[in-house]
Amino acid sequence: MKLTTSTIYLSRSAFLNNIRFLKSFSPSSKFFPVVKANAYGHGLKEVVSIVDDYVDGYCVHSVDEAIEIETKKPILILGHIGSNENLLRELLKSKKLYLTVYSGRVVDFVENIANSVRKPIGLFVKVETGTNRLGLEENDALNLADRIVNSKSLNFMGFSTHFANIEDTTDHSFAKKQIEIFNRVIAKFSGQHVEKHNACSAALMLFEETRTEIVRPGISFYGYYPSRETIVSLNAKGYEKKNGLKPVLSWKTNPLQIKKVKADSYIGYGLTYKATKDMTIAVLPVGYSDGYDRGLSNNGYVLIKGRRCPIVGRICMNLFMVDVTHIDNISEQDEVVLIGKSGEEEITADTIASFLGTINYEVLARLNPFIQKKIVE
């Protein structure tokens, strides 16, 4: 029997709230939430089981992720298609896939598979508009689109792109230039009707021009705003944060041991914390192997009985310690909140990100996929 040292809880009601809120920006668009990176650390299979009735499809990064999704809805692969022909061929037989292409080489690979399975494969051409990751410049994108249209075994779906600087700033001039380039490519395309998608979380909430046939919210789907700047921009449009998104995930554990530490004793590796007085600490069964970042050493807190308990000493691979001297009647049965609410206090992925100098995306995406997950209302 597996020993569960911590549990991630997923709120069904928070998910449904976020879906309603995000759909309110573009009710007529197909809703394809991004579930790459194990659904941003939330658990791919668990998330799909909760939301499948409320979405139109899913976005993933790779074929490997598409394999894990149990759904009859379309799956849009945004990034890596891979080079395993047999794997993709088998996947196409059981799932409805849309692929993103960004070179003639990738189209050659896909076309060969399409001919063998005798099933048209839907392709989106990725347009380079300023992020300089995957994608083709305007003329190359149009030429590749024409080639796909003329193929008997491929189905040209449309165009996509991604923004470089839409959520890190309140100056959206660069994003507007990217929108102009993207729209110019679409206007030049003389073929059939095409579908378009470029709406990440910030774009969906801030720019009407991105609310096209498909929208693909990421971090917002899980209840987090992409940045403070996005919140500021939304507030300027009359939206209040409290009436918007709700974090879906909470993460909890229990102490393995409660112990007394004498004044002048050291706690943890490297002797980085020295007790200035007699104190009580709780040893928690979570560490950086679980995704609880080592950068939180002596630099963060957990919640117990609605009170903040500072981290003392270094985060270990599987354990860390917190000061519970001020918690009355502390025991190994008490709930410890790593992410979530306790009483009037709350720790979010934003809270942890602020300690680490990073973003909420990273805090969530690095959660160990083997942590037990439970779905709650």
Per-residue pLDDT of the chain (377 residues; tens, 9 = 90+): 345 699 999 999 999 999 999 999 999 999 999 999 999 999 999 999 999 999 999 999 999 999 999 999 999 999 988 888 888 888 888 899 999 999 999 999 999 998 888 878 899 999 999 999 999 999 999 999 999 999 989 999 999 999 999 998 999 999 999 999 999 999 999 767 899 999 999 999 999 999 999 999 999 999 999 999 999 999 988 887 667 999 999 999 999 999 999 999 999 999 999 999 999 999 999 999 999 999 999 999 999 999 999 999 999 999 999 999 999 999 999 999 999 999 999 999 999 999 999 999 999 999 999 999 999 99
Domains plus CATH for the chain?
11-243 (3.20.20.10), 249-376 (2.40.37.10)
Q: Which among 177, 246, 269, 341 is annotated as catalytic? A: 269
Q: Catalytic pick from 30, 36, 126, 196?
A: 36
Amino acid 119: pLDDT:
79
8 A C-beta contact, residue 18 and residue 343: no
246 tagged catalytic: no
pLDDT of 243: 75
Among this protein's residues, is 36 annotated catalytic?
yes
- Between vectors from CA 26 to CA 128 and to CA 365, what angle results, nearest 5°? 60
Using the structure block, give the residue that is written with the tokens 């809270």: 351
Give the pLDDT confidence score for residue 217 in this predicted structure.
98
- 159 forms bridges with which residues in the sheet? 125, 196
Q: Say what the pLDDT of residue 193 is.
A: 82
pLDDT at 1: 37
Distance CA 48, CA 82 (A): 23
Q: What is the pLDDT of residue 200?
A: 97
pTM, rounded to two decimals = 0.95
For the chain, percent helix, then strand, then coil, each to nearest 5? 35, 25, 40
- What confidence score (pLDDT) does residue 80 get? 84
